[in-house]
């Protein structure tokens, strides 16, 4: 008896690189192979198993998925009960995501074997994991990128009732894709002709306009890039178009960004993704589980920052670069990157230690909702305690001469002990688009958190971080409101120059507002240092305790 499968699920003949994984060979069960819980790439929809038996072996086949909402029950193209063929044969198991939610799904295939009609049953459990995503657009990719799986789906002989509806959706998807493709090609041609007239420089022109319409160099992603989701960045003047971010990154390439994090790279096998915590246009934060390298029975909870299919190379580069802002720093109020996963063919992932109440801004907003019914949900003293922790973390950064440049509640996280940690701003532009603006200079910046000298002269220092701390303190006291919400971002500099600042929040004590106002002194020299802020807030915190 022999049963084998390639780890990625592809047929070995087409993959070439994948070694065949033998589960049963010469009647011996390979329990080691069966213990693997292999991850299959999200674009792989079929597993192919090879098998044959020298004598009479009967089998029963069954499937289980742990999340039926995310994945339909797998379908095999052999009957669920029968005899193992005597000739070497291949059977296929179709794993299709339901497209209803984002989740990692564990699939169990159970094969019960009875040799020579004895009473002795051998139970083989094959485990696989696959990441399923909510379907936002018609499935375009699988029929084009994976010819074999599309053949299977379109095969009229094997077509089950459910596959006929899928055929319909896929046809619609293909039609949409073709229409989009034609539209994009026309647009690109139009752009070309316009630019030629303007620049009369066809060589550099063709490369730049190609870059705009096709952020990814891989042809398989091309169709995806044309979907409506991605159309907005192309037309919008602001982030996330290509050129702006290049500026931001000072032209770091993806290769360079990956090389910088090689030493903290880990294998994808060690990461299990659970719920999506936050989601933007191209980025996502998952709650994940990381298996310890030395002791696989030990697990650690992590945040996993990653990108979706439609993210461009520049967006990926930016996520990796920005994630490294606090790398290597150790302080109880800082949350630096711990690992990355940059395996070929997988979306890069950035791992940070988990904090169970998540993003501070979202947490504050949640408190605001709760506060309507329960005014004592979170006390002023708690909020001041959070501010002290942020000031402590920032004081450490200032001593190490690290300038954060984007301190805000959205770039902090919190846990159930009300412990607050400052983290980097990777993906924040995508997850909190309302907090970033570009002022015609193609750079997307947290305008409402920026000191005047940063806005006007692009000057950043610990003193400009102090300004942002003042705004963050205001965010805490207002439970996550947007500062300067009525001011046009273009007017911010003029408004600040004229001496206007955000108003004192209702219920915010004068002493506390005085602390914020000091942080917004026009002259950077006049602003308090973080060490002074820690001291002053600690005294205020103690005084609040005395009143209660
Ligand atoms: C295989 O056998 C086990 C135990 O005998 C049983 O619980 C399970 O349902 C069987 N699976 C299939 C697919 O028949
Ligand atoms: C099942 O599918 C595989 C691969 O697609 C094919 O080689 C095999 O002949 C099929 N088996 C049956 C019984 O249809
Ligand atoms: C069943 O199979 C196992 C191993 O294949 C063997 O150790 C055991 O003796 C068998 N039992 C019977 C009743 O045949
Ligand atoms: C294009 C391609 O990869 N075709 C393969 C599809 O699967 C069959 C077996 O079912 C192979 O023989 C083909 O080479």
Cβ–Cβ contacts within 10 Å for residue 217, how many? 11
* Lowest-pLDDT choice from 178-187, 349-358, 473-482, 532-541: 178-187
Q: Active-site residue among 248, 309, 406, 435?
A: 406
Q: What is the mean pLDDT of the chain?
A: 80
Atom of ligand 2 nearest to the CA of 48: 4
At residue 548, the pLDDT reads 58
- pLDDT (tens digit per residue) in 141-166: 444 444 444 433 333 444 344 455 56
At residue 182, the pLDDT reads 66
Task: Look at residues 285, 229, 249, 541 and name the one whose alpha carbon lies nearest to residue 428.
Answer: 285
Sheet holding 81-83, edge to edge: 37-40, 121-132, 103-115, 57-65, 81-83
User: How many A from CA of 515 to the centre of ligand 1?
Assistant: 68
Atom of ligand 4 nearest to the CA of 92: 10
User: How many A from CA of 34 to the centre of ligand 1?
Assistant: 16
At residue 166, the pLDDT reads 63
Mean pLDDT confidence for 439-448: 86
Query: Catalytic: 275?
Result: no
Q: State percent of the chain over pLDDT 90.
A: 49
At residue 149, the pLDDT reads 45
Q: Output the furthest CA–CA distance in the chain (Å, rounded).
A: 91
- Atom 14 in ligand 2: residue holding the nearest Cα: 77
Mean pLDDT confidence for 408-414: 97
Burial class (CB in 10 A: 0-12, 13-18, 19+), 35: exposed
Residues 163-181, buried b or exposed e (16+ Cβ, 10 A)?
beebbeebeebbebbeebe
At residue 19, the pLDDT reads 60
- The DSSP call for residue 349 is E
At residue 98, the pLDDT reads 87
Please answer whether residues 484 and 448 qualify as being in contact, where contact means their C-beta atoms are separated by less than 8 angstroms: yes
Could you tell me if the CB of 78 is within 6 A of ligand 2? Answer: yes
User: How many A from CA of 98 to the centre of ligand 1?
Assistant: 26
* Banded model confidence at residue 235, pLDDT cuts 50, 70, 90: very low
At residue 415, the pLDDT reads 93
At residue 143, the pLDDT reads 44
Could you tell me if the CB of 123 is within 6 A of ligand 1? Answer: yes
User: How many A from CA of 77 to the centre of ligand 2?
Assistant: 6
> Looking at the chain, which residues constitute the CATH 2.60.40.2170 domain(s)?
2-132
Terminal C-alpha separation, the chain: 76
At residue 176, the pLDDT reads 64
Q: Is the peptide bond before 240 cis (omega within 30 degrees of 0)?
A: yes
At residue 246, the pLDDT reads 33
Is pTM beyond 0.85? Reply is no
User: How many A from CA of 82 to the centre of ligand 1?
Assistant: 14
At residue 185, the pLDDT reads 67
Return d(Cα 13, Cα 16) in angstroms, integer.
6
If you average pLDDT over each of 64-78, 258-272, 465-479, which comes out highest? 465-479
Cβ–Cβ contacts within 10 Å for residue 160, how many? 10
Ligand nearest to the CA of 116: 3
Q: Is 71 helix (H, G, I), strand (E, B) or coil?
A: strand
Return d(Cα 303, Cα 309) in angstroms, integer.
19
* Banded model confidence at residue 196, pLDDT cuts 50, 70, 90: very low
Could you tell me if the CB of 91 is within 6 A of ligand 2? Answer: yes
What CATH architecture applies to the domain 208-547? Answer: Orthogonal Bundle (1.10)
Mean pLDDT confidence for 11-34: 68
Query: CA dist 85 to 4, 51, 88, 212, 315, Å?
Result: 14, 7, 7, 54, 50
- Atom 13 in ligand 2: residue holding the nearest Cα: 78
pLDDT at 250 over 70: no
Tokens of 46: 């079929």
Task: Look at residues 417, 406, 497 and name the one whose alpha carbon lies nearest to residue 445.
Answer: 406
Mean pLDDT confidence for 189-214: 42
The residue to mutate among 92, 154, 159, having the most atoms of ligand 2 within 8 angstroms of its beta carbon, is 92
Which residues on adjacent β-strands are paired with residue 40? 130
Return d(Cα 14, Cα 8) in angstroms, integer.
12
At residue 79, the pLDDT reads 93
At residue 375, the pLDDT reads 62
Give the torsion sign (CA, 356, 359, 362, 367).
Answer: positive
- Atom 2 in ligand 3: residue holding the nearest Cα: 120
Could you tell me if the CB of 495 is within 6 A of ligand 2? Answer: no
Dihedral over alpha carbons 374, 378, 381, 383 (to 10 degrees): -140
Atom of ligand 4 nearest to the CA of 148: 6
How are the residues of the chain apportioned to helix, strand and coil, as percentages rounded to the nearest 5? 40, 20, 35
* Banded model confidence at residue 190, pLDDT cuts 50, 70, 90: low
Atom of ligand 2 nearest to the CA of 152: 5
Cβ–Cβ contacts within 10 Å for residue 120, how many? 9
Burial class (CB in 10 A: 0-12, 13-18, 19+), 257: buried
Please answer whether residues 113 and 1 qualify as being in contact, where contact means their C-beta atoms are separated by less than 8 angstroms: yes
At residue 80, the pLDDT reads 93
| 125 CA to centre of own chain | 31
Could you tell me if the CB of 120 is within 6 A of ligand 3? Answer: yes
Atom of ligand 3 nearest to the CA of 118: 14
pLDDT at 70 over 60: yes
pLDDT at 338 over 70: yes
pLDDT at 34 over 60: yes
Tokens of 420: 């607050």
Atom of ligand 1 nearest to the CA of 61: 13
Give the torsion sign (CA, 294, 296, 298, 299).
Answer: positive
User: How many A from CA of 158 to the centre of ligand 1?
Assistant: 26
- Atom 6 in ligand 4: residue holding the nearest Cα: 148
User: How many A from CA of 12 to the centre of ligand 4?
Assistant: 10
Q: Is 137 helix (H, G, I), strand (E, B) or coil?
A: coil
At residue 192, the pLDDT reads 59
Return d(Cα 445, Cα 238) in angstroms, integer.
10
> Looking at the chain, which residues constitute the CATH 1.10.510.10 domain(s)?
208-547
At residue 323, the pLDDT reads 95
Return d(Cα 143, Cα 269) in angstroms, integer.
27
Alpha helices in 324-461 (DSSP H): 360-371, 380-399, 428-431, 452-457
Give the torsion sign (CA, 512, 517, 520, 524).
Answer: negative
- The DSSP call for residue 253 is -
- Atom 14 in ligand 1: residue holding the nearest Cα: 60
Please answer whether residues 367 and 534 qualify as being in contact, where contact means their C-beta atoms are separated by less than 8 angstroms: no
Cβ–Cβ contacts within 10 Å for residue 200, how many? 8
pLDDT at 303 over 70: yes
* Banded model confidence at residue 133, pLDDT cuts 50, 70, 90: confident
- Atom 4 in ligand 4: residue holding the nearest Cα: 148
Atom of ligand 4 nearest to the CA of 90: 10
Could you tell me if the CB of 374 is within 6 A of ligand 3? Answer: no
Ligand nearest to the CA of 118: 3
At residue 211, the pLDDT reads 33
Alpha helices in 44-140 (DSSP H): none
Ligand nearest to the CA of 46: 2
| SS3 annotation, 26-55 | CCEECHHHHHCEEEECCCCCEEEEEEECCC
Cα–Cα–Cα angle for 76, 81, 86, nearest 5°?
90
Ligand nearest to the CA of 115: 3
* Lowest-pLDDT choice from 167-171, 176-180, 225-229, 510-514: 225-229
At residue 164, the pLDDT reads 53
User: How many A from CA of 148 to the centre of ligand 4?
Assistant: 6
Cβ–Cβ contacts within 10 Å for residue 412, how many? 26
Query: CA dist 258 to 91, 268, 319, 448, 507, Å?
Result: 39, 15, 11, 32, 47
Ligand nearest to the CA of 31: 3
- pLDDT (tens digit per residue) in 499-545: 899 999 988 999 999 999 999 999 999 999 999 999 999 999 998 88
Q: Which residues line ligand 4 (CB under 6 A)?
A: 11, 14, 147-148
* Banded model confidence at residue 84, pLDDT cuts 50, 70, 90: very high
Does the domain made of 2-132 have the CATH classification 2.60.40.2170? yes
Please answer whether residues 362 and 297 qualify as being in contact, where contact means their C-beta atoms are separated by less than 8 angstroms: no
User: How many A from CA of 119 to the centre of ligand 3?
Assistant: 9
Could you tell me if the CB of 60 is within 6 A of ligand 1? Answer: yes
User: How many A from CA of 50 to the centre of ligand 2?
Assistant: 10
């Amino acid at each position: 008896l022999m049963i084998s499968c390639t780890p990625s699920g592809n047929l070995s003949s087409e993959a070439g690189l994948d070694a065949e994984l033998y589960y049963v060979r010469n009647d011996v069960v390979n329990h080691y192979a069966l213990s693997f819980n292999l991850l299959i790439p999200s674009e792989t929809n079929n597993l192919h198993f090879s098998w044959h038996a020298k004598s009479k072996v009967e089998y029963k086949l069954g499937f289980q998925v742990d999340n039926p909402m995310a994945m339909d029950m797998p379908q095999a193209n052999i009957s669920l009960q029968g005899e193992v063929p005597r000739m070497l044969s291949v059977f296929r198991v179709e794993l299709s995501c339901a497209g209803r939610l984002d989740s990692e799904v564990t699939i169990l295939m159970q094969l019960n074997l009875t040799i020579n009609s004895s009473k002795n049953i051998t139970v083989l459990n094959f485990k696989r994991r696959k990441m399923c995503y909510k379907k936002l657009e018609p499935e375009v990719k699988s029929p084009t990128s994976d010819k074999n799986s599309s053949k299977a789906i379109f095969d009229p002989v094997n077509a089950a009732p459910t596959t006929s509806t899928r055929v319909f959706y896929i046809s619609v998807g293909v039609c949409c894709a073709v229409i989009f493709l034609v539209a994009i090609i026309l647009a690109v041609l139009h752009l070309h002709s316009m630019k030629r007239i303007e620049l009369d420089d066809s060589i550099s022109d063709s490369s730049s306009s190609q870059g705009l319409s096709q952020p990814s160099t891989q042809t398989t992603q091309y169709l995806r890039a044309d979907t409506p989701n991605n159309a907005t960045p192309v037309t919008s003047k602001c982030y996330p178009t290509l050129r702006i971010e290049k500026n931001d990154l000072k032209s770091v390439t993806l290769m360079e960004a990956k090389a910088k994090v090689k030493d903290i790279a880990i294998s994808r096998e060690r990461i299990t993704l659970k719920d999506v915590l936050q989601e933007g246009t191209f980025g996502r934060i998952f709650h994940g589980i990381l298996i310890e390298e030395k002791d696989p029975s030990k697990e650690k909870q992590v945040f996993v920052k990653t990108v979706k299919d439609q993210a461009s190379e520049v967006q990926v580069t930016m996520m990796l670069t920005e994630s490294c802002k606090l790398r290597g720093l150790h302080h109880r109020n800082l949350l630096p990157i711990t690992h990355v996963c940059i395996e070929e063919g997988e979306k890069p992932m950035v791992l940070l230690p988990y904090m169970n109440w998540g993003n501070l801004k979202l947490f504050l907003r949640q408190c605001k909702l709760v506060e309507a019914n329960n005014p004592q949900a979170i006390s002023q003293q708690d909020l001041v305690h959070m501010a002290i922790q942020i000031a402590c973390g920032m004081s450490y950064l200032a001593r190490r001469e690290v300038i954060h440049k984007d301190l805000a509640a959205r770039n902090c996280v919190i846990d159930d002990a009300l412990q607050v940690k400052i983290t980097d701003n990777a993906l924040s532009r995508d997850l909190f688009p309302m907090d970033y603006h570009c002022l015609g200079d193609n750079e997307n910046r947290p305008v409402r958190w920026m000191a005047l000298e940063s806005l006007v002269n692009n000057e950043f220092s610990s003193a400009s971080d102090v300004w942002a701390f003042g705004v963050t303190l205001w965010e805490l006291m207002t439970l996550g409101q947007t500062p300067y919400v009525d001011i046009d971002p273009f007017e911010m500099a003029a408004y600040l120059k004229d001496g206007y600042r955000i108003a004192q929040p209702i219920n915010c004590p004068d002493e506390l507002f005085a602390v914020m106002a000091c942080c917004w002194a026009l002259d950077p020299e006049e602003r308090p240092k973080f060490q002074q802020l820690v001291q002053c807030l600690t005294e205020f915190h103690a005084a609040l305790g005395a009143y209660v």
